[in-house]
Amino acid sequence: MLGVVIGDNVVIREGTILGNNVHIGNNCVLGSDGYEVAKIFGSSKIVPHTGFCILKDNVEILNNCCVCKGLFRGYDTIIEENVKIDNIVQIAHAVKIGKNTEIGAGAVISGNTIIGENVWIGPNVTLSNKIKVGNNAFVSLGAVVIDNINDGERVAGNFAYDTKKFMKEFKMKKSEE
């Protein structure tokens, strides 16, 4: 763990593994339990998580972010090399984020989501659970993604779909006003 920088009021929970040159901003929580609810004796309970939260080399996370650990070992949360994460981002359990990906402020990445390499996720994007985002994809700001995104695809909107189609329909609506 060479060159690791940890900001003020950071909580690093059991099962968190940091690579070299990882930078964590103020007030972040790494390795927290995620949101998995089960009925136990008729009452809803949040299930304790036993997986890992792994941040590889050169990951940078700004302030007020939460990165959950995996629900079980083998279903770990893994953030690969050179990932950059802006402020106030929620990353749920068992998420995998590929190398060189950038995630904008306020993004919410739900559990078991797999994000490829060199992906741009804009501010306030929401990715539903079990989504797969291909390599070199671009998710425009505020998009709500409920389906997989292919390699190189650009999506926008709520619910997210092809950016060119979205912009064409948006321009048509504006010209009708």
Catalytic residues: 93
CA 106/CA 77 separation, integer angstroms: 19
Cβ within 8 Å of residue 141, ≥6 positions away: 104, 122, 123, 124, 125
State the pLDDT confidence band at 157, using cuts at 50, 70 and 90. Answer: confident
What pLDDT score was predicted for residue 147? 94
pLDDT of residue 1 exceeding 80, the answer is no
CA 46/CA 44 separation, integer angstroms: 7
pLDDT of residue 167 exceeding 90, the answer is no
Query: Tokens 């700004």, residue?
Result: 62
CATH of domain 5-176: 2.160.10.10
Nearest to 111 by CA among 58, 161, 46, 63: 46
Question: 0.85 cut: is pTM over it?
Answer: yes
pLDDT of residue 161 exceeding 80, the answer is no
Per-residue pLDDT tens over the stretch 61-95: 999 999 999 999 999 999 999 999 999 999 999 99
Query: Tokens 């695809």, residue?
Result: 153
Query: Tokens 């593994």, residue?
Result: 17
Per-residue pLDDT tens over the stretch 14-65: 999 999 999 999 999 999 999 999 999 999 999 999 999 999 999 999 999 9
